[in-house]
Each structure stands twice: as structure tokens, then as C-alpha cells.
């Protein structure tokens, strides 16, 4: 593992341990101006990650969800870290276990390294351009992962629990045999490990929601394509200051 990848994996694991401790004890939930929930776990995990990134790479700016929500957005250059300290806060609040820590490195608009860690299940996914993608389940040994070839008939699709019906309707032109509902950025990881074939998102997402998952999937050999009118069939890009870092609709493929 390269030093950069080792850094972000370690940061995700340490932040995940803090989240686990708070998850076990419980905590209050607040609602941000955009209507999304935030907890002490979000803030403590983000502070932990920011401290570790700053110590190792003080010259690389960090775009982090809670800092951005508070209006603290650094000047981004061609290279920056992207952090969602607790993706799937609603899953954390609802205690369904479906939440992750996401950290990515973006270079020239593309996520080139990323880690997705699910503290509740201890499932760790990470990867980088030129290094491949890997998973570690329940503290086990690292395993290389790759998407599976498309089946001759009947794709398996992943959909967010919050808009599964809409996704199923809008993918009606594809030969979908099965839909798997899921939350958080683990959807990208299911494609990367070959559990499913396609994931489309037609609802609102932010760059910190997707950067780490896209990095893992693309390191494994998959792709994530924007579906907006201005960038149809183009890779999903990052550093979109003009849109407030909001993503267009997108579709992700295992191969």
C-alpha cells in the first residue's frame, strides 16, 4: 500500500472507531439548514480525519462536509482531499448500520485514491489508480477485488433505499433481473467487488458523498458517468465550485 493510501485508510479506521463508540452510547441529533441530520459522531470523526490529513499533507486543502456546511471552504487547487466523515447519517440515527467513513484524494477533477469504511460491519474498501482495489472484511486479510463481467441476461442493480422505486422505473430500458436496496457509498463497493452490475442515482448528492466510492470502483476497473445534459456520458468530475459541489445525476457500472 502506498503511503498516501495507507494514510487515508488509517484515518478512516480511527474515525470509524470514534463513530462506533458514539453509536454504542447514543447521541443527540441536530438538523442542518439543508434539512439533513448531523450528530456528534459526524463532527468528531471529521475533526480526527482533518487533523491526520493536515499533519501529513499540510499543503493539500481538504473539502469536508461539515466544514463546508459551516461555510468554511478552502481554496481548492488541482489536488485536494474530499471527506465525508459519516456518510449515511440517517442510517446512523436509525441504527441500521448502513453508514460509512469516506475519504478521497482528487487530482485534476478525478478521484484517484479512496477509502470507504463501514464501522458497524467492519467492512473496509480502498483503492488507488495504479494500485488496484481491495477489501478487508471484519479485520481479515486484504483481498483484491474486481467487478464481474456483465451477465448475458439479467443485470443486478443497486438503488438507494430512499428512491428505489424511481430508480427502478428510470432503468426500465435495461434488462434488470434484481434490485438490491442499499444506503451510503457501499453501493459503489458492491459494484467493485462484483456483487452487482449497475447503480444509478437520480437524486441529489454532493461530491463528498461519492468521491471515495468512485475512487474505489474505478481503481477496481469500473466507471462512474455523469448524466447531466452538459456532460452526458462523461466521467463524474470533482471541484465543481460553480454548482456548490453538487453532483449531476450519474450512473455507475462495474465494467
Do 118 and 175 sit in the same domain of this protein? no
Round to whole Å and give the CA distance between 225 and 180. 20
Q: How confident is the model at residue 231 (pLDDT cuts 50, 70, 90)?
A: very low
Q: How confident is the model at residue 35 (pLDDT cuts 50, 70, 90)?
A: confident
Structural domains counted in the chain: 2
Of residues 88 and 47, more confidence is placed in: 47
Do 216 and 117 sit in the same domain of this protein? no
72-82 tens-digit pLDDT? 999 999 999 99
Burial class (CB in 10 A: 0-12, 13-18, 19+), 99: buried
Does 96 fall in a domain?
Answer: yes
Do 7 and 107 sit in the same domain of this protein? yes
Per-residue pLDDT, 165: 75
Please compute the mean of the pLDDT values over residues 41-56 and round it to a whole number: 96
User: What is the pLDDT of the chain when averaged over all its residues?
Assistant: 92
pLDDT at 142 over 80: yes
Please compute the mean of the pLDDT values over residues 170-178 and round it to a whole number: 88
Domain that holds residue 166: 155-253
Q: Which helix (H) or strand (E) holds 182?
A: strand 176-182
Q: How confident is the model at residue 220 (pLDDT cuts 50, 70, 90)?
A: very high
Contact criterion met (CB below 8 Å) for 86 and 97:
no
CATH number at residue 91: 3.30.540.10
Do 114 and 187 sit in the same domain of this protein? no
pLDDT at 180 over 60: yes
pLDDT at 161 over 60: yes
Q: Which helix (H) or strand (E) holds 6?
A: helix 3-25
pLDDT at 232 over 80: no
Of residues 39 and 127, more confidence is placed in: 127
Please compute the mean of the pLDDT values over residues 162-183 and round it to a whole number: 83
Q: How confident is the model at residue 50 (pLDDT cuts 50, 70, 90)?
A: very high
Query: Which residue, of 144, 167, 199, is where some domain finishes?
Result: 144
Do 205 and 114 sit in the same domain of this protein? no
pLDDT at 173 over 90: no
* Grid coordinates belonging to 122: 467492519
Please compute the mean of the pLDDT values over residues 169-176 and round it to a whole number: 86
Per-residue pLDDT, 92: 84
Round to whole Å and give the CA distance between 227 and 250. 5
Do 197 and 95 sit in the same domain of this protein? no
**Cα torsion through 123, 63, 66, 116, rounded to 10:** 0
pTM above 0.75, yes or no: yes
Q: Other C-beta atoms within 10 Å of 40: how many?
A: 16
143-144 β-sheet, strand order: 62-64, 79-87, 100-107, 110-118, 123-128, 132-137, 143-144
Amino acid at each position: 500500500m502506498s503511503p498516501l493510501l495507507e494514510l487515508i485508510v488509517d484515518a478512516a479506521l480511527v474515525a470509524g472507531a470514534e463513530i462506533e463508540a458514539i453509536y454504542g452510547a447514543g447521541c443527540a441529533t441536530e438538523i442542518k439548514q439543508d434539512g439533513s441530520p448531523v450528530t456528534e459522531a459526524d463532527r468528531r470523526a471529521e475533526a480526527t480525519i482533518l487533523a491526520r490529513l493536515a499533519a501529513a499533507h499540510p499543503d493539500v486543502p481538504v473539502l469536508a462536509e461539515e466544514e463546508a456546511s459551516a461555510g468554511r471552504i478552502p481554496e481548492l487547487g488541482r489536488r485536494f482531499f474530499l471527506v465525508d466523515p459519516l456518510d449515511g447519517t440517517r442510517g446512523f440515527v436509525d441504527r441500521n448500520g448502513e453508514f460509512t467513513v469516506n475519504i478521497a484524494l482528487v487530482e485534476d477533477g478525478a478521484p484517484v485514491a479512496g477509502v470507504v469504511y463501514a464501522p458497524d460491519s467492519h467492512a473496509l474498501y480502498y483503492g488507488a489508480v495504479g494500485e488496484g482495489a481491495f477489501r478487508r472484511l471484519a479485520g481479515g486479510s486484504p483481498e483484491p477485488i474486481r467487478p464481474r463481467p456483465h451477465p448475458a441476461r439479467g443485470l443486478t442493480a443497486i438503488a438507494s433505499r430512499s428512491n428505489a422505486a424511481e430508480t427502478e422505473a428510470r432503468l426500465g430500458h435495461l434488462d434488470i433481473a434484481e434490485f438490491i436496496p442499499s444506503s451510503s457509498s457501499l453501493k459503489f463497493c458492491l459494484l467493485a467487488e462484483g456483487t452487482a452490475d449497475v447503480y444509478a442515482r437520480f437524486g441529489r448528492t454532493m461530491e463528498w458523498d461519492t468521491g471515495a466510492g468512485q475512487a474505489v470502483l474505478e481503481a477496481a476497473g469500473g466507471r462512474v458517468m455523469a448524466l447531466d445534459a452538459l456532460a452526458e456520458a462523461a466521467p463524474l468530475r470533482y471541484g465543481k465550485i460553480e454548482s456548490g459541489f453538487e453532483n449531476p445525476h450519474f450512473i455507475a457500472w462495474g465494467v
